[in-house]
Structure 1
């Protein structure tokens, strides 16, 4: 099975030794996205809702670069520095997905890169 790198300028460039996503067959593995604005590589703001929206926009851009949409995501992992934002995440996520929603985990972590309050990664299965 061949493996290819997915890269788009519409999402932040990798800030470490990883790719935005890797496609293997019809499966795409998305690396974690934090709320960096692609053009500036700076945090969108300190406001949690704005950070969550930016992360979902970044995830959407990587999905589209791979030839899919957020609705092709089958598994999503959401990392939060404060689990009290769970309801806000659900509200914002509902704007990016149609039912049936992907399988998902949402966990609280002690810290995220660059002081982000949210990070999202996932697995996408492209239509054959």
Structure 2
């Protein structure tokens, strides 16, 4: 009888231990899944976006600043409301004049640019685009992507958008 009680007690103890262990693990997992790390609240400070410019008659902002990072809308070679004449080099030069104007308007400089995305309607213009790009920006150059596209607004040959950070 004592042997039967001992075996029965061991089985109950084992079962109870398993249940308690499973319950404790479930409790710990549920607590850790919902608990926010204290460091995240003190180390990360998020700034609300600030939208600049109203885009005039177009539905976009000139730029949006989040913290010290300025995200700029794409620029084409517009001057005085018209696309400049003279081909890809003239358009690219005007694009960077427009980028410079937006940067200065919001307290940034070309040296603050960290990323550019370039869109070209003719990838055969890539070499001429790069020649102007190199005269407008200094080493170390920002990271960059370049895309061949079918068409750009207002018949532009090139559009460049940038991100700048202080």
**Do both proteins adopt the same fold according to a TM-score greater than 0.5, normalized to the shorter chain?**
yes
Match of 1:44 in 2: 84
Match of 2:76 in 1: 34
Q: Which residue of 1 aligns with 2:146?
A: 106
1:98 Cα deviation from its structure 2 partner: 1.4
The 1:77–1:14 alpha-carbon spacing in structure 2 relative to 1, beyond 3 Å, is farther
How far does the alpha carbon of each residue in 1:4-31 deviate from its partner, in whole angstroms, 9 at most, with x for none?
2334xxxxx5552101111111000000
Alignment RMSD, CA only?
A: 1.4
Q: Does 1:96 align with 2:142?
A: no
2:98 matched to which residue of 1? Answer: 58
> Which residue number corresponds to residue 48 of structure 2?
2
More strand by share: 1
Higher relative contact order (CA 8 A, sep 6+): 1
The match for 2:108 is: 68
Higher-helix-fraction structure = 2
- TM-score, with length taken from structure 2: 0.67
Contact 1:22 1:30 in 2 (8 A): yes
Structure 1 runs (4+) greater than 3 angstroms displaced: none
Is there any run of 5+ residues in structure 2 with no aligned partner, and where? 1-46
2:66 to 16, 24, 44: 24
